[in-house]
Amino acid sequence: MHELSVTENIIDICLRHARNHGARRIVRINLVLGELTGIVDQCITFYWDMLAKDTIAAQAELVFRKVPVVARCRECGEEYRPENLELRCPRCGGEQAELVSGREFRVESIEVD
């Protein structure tokens, strides 16, 4: 997967943020992780230990908030969690649905010291 470059990205963001705030170290990073991204949180943590080793983010705790896949039916407005990525609406059977969530991956907040 692309976890390596994703992790590099997050570290960049966090270090820049910490520097701007004159932080001595990064304590905790809260991340939002959509189910559909296919990103595995253990991989991020693994690469993090490797890449952040000599930075002020080395001891940071990574907290992942997993976001489920949610779809909204364009016909009746029903919101539901599609099973096995079957997007058909469980209420009206409509096949036109849009994704409300599940694709996001971002840094939600950073706690520094």
Which parts of this chain interact with Zn ion (CB under 5 A)? Answer: 73, 75-76, 78, 89, 91-92, 94
Closest approach, Cβ 71 to Zn ion, in A, equals 10
If 0-12 CB within 10 Å is exposed, 13-18 middle and 19+ buried, where does residue 61 land?
A: exposed
CA–CA gap between residue 14 and residue 1 (Å, rounded): 22
Report the residue number, 79 or 113, with the smaller CB distance to Zn ion.
79
Nearest approach, Cβ of 85 to Zn ion (angstroms)?
A: 17
Nearer to Zn ion, 1 or 76 (CB): 76
Closest separation in Å from C-beta 75 to Zn ion: 4
Check residue 46 and report its DSSP letter.
Answer: H
Backbone angles phi, psi at 2, to 5 degrees: -100, 25
